[in-house]
């Protein structure tokens, strides 16, 4: 299960583990980058990473790609 919420300048995606084994994964897409975080209930703290918007688009594209090396050309359009 996942949820998507649109704020003023942020898209927040929360992905839940349907079986309850893993803590929720939270993704915040903003103009300055994409923030991915997950609570670690064993260590009782949140872990965060930040990636660029291009890395985010490449991650999404990579999910459905065959094996190989690929380059995504940047467009002049605003991605969000």
Length of the chain: 80
Tokens of 11: 């898209």
Residue 76 has what pLDDT? 53
Nearest by Cα to 39 from 4, 5, 7, 15: 15
Host H or E run for residue 37: strand 33-40
Q: What is residue 1's DSSP assignment? A: -
Give 23-58 pLDDT, tens digit per residue: 999 999 999 999 999 999 889 999 999 999 999 999
pLDDT over 60 at 1, yes or no: yes
pLDDT over 70 at 13, yes or no: yes
Give yes or no for a contact between 12 and 2, defined as CB atoms under 8 angstroms apart: no
Give the dihedral of Cα atoms 63, 60, 76, 12; nearest 10 deg: 180
């Amino acid at each position: 299960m996942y949820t998507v919420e649109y704020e003023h300048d942020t898209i927040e995606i929360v992905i839940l583990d349907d079986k309850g084994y893993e803590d929720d994964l939270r993704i915040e897409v903003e103009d300055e980058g994409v923030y991915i975080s997950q609570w670690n209930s064993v260590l009782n703290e949140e872990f965060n990473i930040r990636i660029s918007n291009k890395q985010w688009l490449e991650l999404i594209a990579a999910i459905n790609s065959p094996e190989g090396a690929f380059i995504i050309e940047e467009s002049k359009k605003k991605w969000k």
